[in-house]
Amino acid sequence: MKTFDAIIIGKGPAGISAALYTARANLSTLVIGKNESSLNKAPSIENYYGLSEPLSGEKLLAVGMEQVKALGVTVADEEVLSITKLFEENLFGVTSKENTYQAKTVLIATGKPQKKIKLEGLERLEGRGISYCTTCDGFFFRKAKVGVLGYNEYALHEAEELLTFTEDITIFTGGKEMEASEEETGKFKIIKEPIEALSGTERLEGIKLKNGETIPLQGLFVAYGTASSVDFAQKLGVLVEDGSIKVNADMATNIDGLFAAGDCTGGFKQVSVAVGQGAVAGKSMIDYAKKRG
């Protein structure tokens, strides 16, 4: 297992800005992220300090990446599936499909959380059979018939975590192809049929498929798309307000050693704000790592 002083999740302006500070302060730093920054979608940036002419978001990201690589930062093009607190070692564990890493301090800079799937009954049954956190709620579904809603590595990771509690697990892809090999999904039933609605009034009772069939279920764990800041927060017990991670002026969350910066903290979603918050978070991570030793 590779251990770093600092792990930064997200390769957008907030994450890269934080890494510039941690690396220059000699913290061994890993930046881990997929190539899906909001900035990739911005054709022309004109309102960022120091630009003599408009620059595409893609170019601005590429320049930032060159800057951190020149400082010796390790960069991994991986999707993070979970963050855990390893209390005994007083470290954080960060798991992707390919690797598990450890660090003294972690920054969540994963941008604006993606919109989750909309399904009739989903919000109504939250906490009544619908969960977003296998670590928190898996225990309540021992030997139960449960589903995982999702279609990729994140869903597979959550299904595997549920195996501790039950073997009766179905992955519902909601009409998408499963992005994993049959070898990887072998322990689970896979249903690719599109979903009409979730059924149940007081508690979840089942999933109604578009083909008219209803599959009875006691629990459904939502792991749709890429794991977002809110998914990580829920599992770690990080405070979230209106879908954004709550931080103080030092960009610290309520978990010691865990920081957040950029669009995932809400507010004014701009490159300049993300870069500024990244700088503050980087400084706070340095102070934390030095104090911790």
Ligand X SMILES: Cc1cc2nc3c(=O)[nH]c(=O)nc-3n(C[C@H](O)[C@H](O)[C@H](O)COP(=O)(O)OP(=O)(O)OC[C@H]3O[C@@H](n4cnc5c(N)ncnc54)[C@H](O)[C@@H]3O)c2cc1C
Residues near ligand X (CB under 6 A) are: 9-15, 32-34, 36-39, 41-42, 45, 47-48, 79-80, 109-111, 226-227, 262-263, 269-272, 274
Q: Which is nearer to ligand X, 30 or 191 (CB)?
A: 30
Gap between the Cα atoms of 207 and 198, Å rounded: 5
| Strand, coil or helix: 164 | coil
Residue 248's contacts (CB-CB under 8 Å, 6 or more residues apart) are none
Q: Which is nearer to ligand X, 131 or 226 (CB)?
A: 226
Q: Which is nearer to ligand X, 207 or 263 (CB)?
A: 263
Please state the closest distance from residue 36 (CB atom) to ligand X, in A.
4
Q: What is the dihedral of CA 3, 114, 196, 152, to 10 degrees?
A: -30
* CA dist 255 → 4, 61, 252, 260, 278 (Å): 18, 29, 8, 11, 18
Q: Which is nearer to ligand X, 218 or 229 (CB)?
A: 229
Please state the closest distance from residue 83 (CB atom) to ligand X, in A.
9
Please state the closest distance from residue 197 (CB atom) to ligand X, in A.
28
Q: What are phi and psi of 106, to 5 degrees?
A: -130, 140
Q: What are phi and psi of 292, to 5 degrees?
A: -75, -35
Residue that the structure tokens 């930062």 belong to: 73
Please state the closest distance from residue 284 (CB atom) to ligand X, in A.
16
Please state the closest distance from residue 51 (CB atom) to ligand X, in A.
10
Q: Which is nearer to ligand X, 42 or 144 (CB)?
A: 42
